[in-house]
Amino acid sequence: MTQLRPIGQSDLMTPPLILGGNVFGWTADRAASFAVLDAFVAGGGKMIDTADVYSAWIPGNSGGESETVIGEWLKHRGRRDDVMITTKVGMLPIGDRQKLDPALIPVAIDASLRRLGTDYVDLYLAHQDDDAQDQGEVAAAFDAAVRAGKVRVLGASNFSAERLASALAAQDQGGFARYRALQNEYNLMERAGYEGAVQDFCVANGIGMTPFFGLACGYLTGKYRSAEDVKGARAYRVGKYVEGRGPGVLAAMDAVAAAHGASLAQVALAWIAAQPGIAAPIASATSVAQVEDLLGAISLVLTPDDLAALDTASRVTEAA
């Protein structure tokens, strides 16, 4: 049976893999999204991550497309109790309200719940920090959603250690529900956004990290080996890794993958899952074959030598 992990000091338990929903309504249409979601749950997956802003960046979209697809899938399968849904607020403006305006939060959660076709979400995240707002007022708005039964657990995303600490202090001072999870970027190519002050704070305060871009926008799958390979919807994000930064990391991953009979994606995610403070990495898929490959990371256990080799290669890469 798959080992479940708590997300911070909460009652949410997940295998060490969360399915990213940013592709739903973007690079995965409704049929492909349904197939991916079905395969994820069939393979033991429990938590699905989305946001109200997915995929507002596509011409003709207005945001909420991913939530809508997930809501339709939940309705189609006729059950909600065996999956957990994460969504976020703070990047999709509503009227003249933006970011973490306390007046936007109750409107946004209701809109997300309508699109998802459910009366609660398991984890609700502040999608980005907003230093223009009073953190006590923001905390009160999030707490109201918890008290109303619309949200089980709160979290934050794209926060620094300093701002996360001040947010928790405001929550504690007001007697409000605390952030129990953090979602920052973290992978073998991008380590600075978590390691150091953020990681230390999360470990010390029982905050579960659920990092996004676990595969570095696909680079860590090994499909971008040269400049000629850099194409597709996310190509602009991976080009920086191809020249100078990534080959050493991929070489180390190739060796670990060969030793375990694993894919590079599985190695990349298993490395994240083995780091202190990590609850589960997030990765997305646009096909059943991709999600089945990702699910293999749940059972992959890297040896101390594997972890050391990957650590060394990625640290050298960062220093280069």
| Cα 71 from Cα 141, distance rounded (Å) | 24
* Options 54, 186, 194, 241, the catalytic residue: 54
**Beta pairing, strands 5-6 & 47-49:** unpaired
Residue given tokens 């739903």 in the structure block: 24
Answer for the pair 176, 139: CB distance below 8 angstroms, yes or no: yes
Give burial (CB, 10 Å; 0-12/13-18/19+) of 192: exposed
How many of the other CB atoms lie within 10 Å of CB of 59?
Answer: 4
Residue 317 token pair? 């890469």
Q: Which residues of 272-286 are buried (b: 16+ CB within 10 A; e: fewer)?
A: bbbbebbbbbbbbbb
DSSP category for residue 177: P
| Cα 283 from Cα 218, distance rounded (Å) | 9
The dihedrals phi and psi of 94, each to the nearest 5 degrees, come to -130, 110
Residue given tokens 């940013």 in the structure block: 22
| Cα 160 from Cα 197, distance rounded (Å) | 8
**Beta pairing, strands 47-49 & 84-89:** parallel
54 is catalytic: yes
Quick one: angle between helices 104-116 and 65-77, nearest 10?
Answer: 40
Q: Give every strand in the sheet of 179-183, ordered side by side.
A: 208-209, 179-183, 151-157, 121-126, 84-89, 47-49, 18-20, 282-284
By annotation, the residues acting in catalysis are 54
